[in-house]
Amino acid sequence: MKIGIHIPTQTLELFDESGKSVRRYQVSTGANGVGEENGSFCTPRGKHVIRAKIGRGEPENAVFVQRRPTGEVYSPQLGAQYPGRDWILTRILWLSGCESGYNRGGSCDTMRRYVYIHGTPDSTPLGKPGSRGCVRMRNAELVDLFELVEAGTEVEITA
């Protein structure tokens, strides 16, 4: 399996070993556009791999902080209590860059920037940039993707 994330169309596509598309999802990438620098809150481009899969067995809408479940389950009421919170929900696919000096190492390291593919509240608009650099997905679709990929799966982000 291989994942392709296409910034202009705000889509994530899953390909099988033969290169055939098997799933396509609408996503939301960085509101600040694309870029690799630490602190930019941009979505990094290039070749990556899934470094870790986090959240197996957690309920849909489980809330994560620093890659750990908080025990909370997102609801509109919880969202209203914390209006500025960047919600990381359901599952996390933690990305690691593969291109030294571009998205790996130094001030451009995707993994050290904590860039994930993760769930988001159902009320969050997808199909347009809006994240802080991560790739946001619908929770049910993320659960589907999570079950189909393994740590080490290639991810290419193109602009």
CATH number at residue 90: 2.40.440.10
Give the per-residue pLDDT at 112. Answer: 97
Supply 112's token pair: 């050290």
Structurally, the chain folds into a number of domains equal to: 1
Full-model pTM: 0.96
Give the per-residue pLDDT at 44. Answer: 98
Are β-strands 2-6 and 11-15 bridged in parallel, bridged antiparallel, or unpaired?
A: antiparallel
For residue 50, CA distances in Å to 25, 83, 94 come to 17, 30, 6
Whether the CB-CB separation of 36 and 110 falls below 8 Å is answered with: yes
Give the per-residue pLDDT at 84. Answer: 86
What are the per-10-residue average pLDDT scores of the chain (159 residues)? Answer: 98 97 98 97 98 97 97 96 94 98 97 98 96 98 98 98
Residue given tokens 């809330």 in the structure block: 63
Residue-number span of the structural domain to which 24 is assigned? 2-158
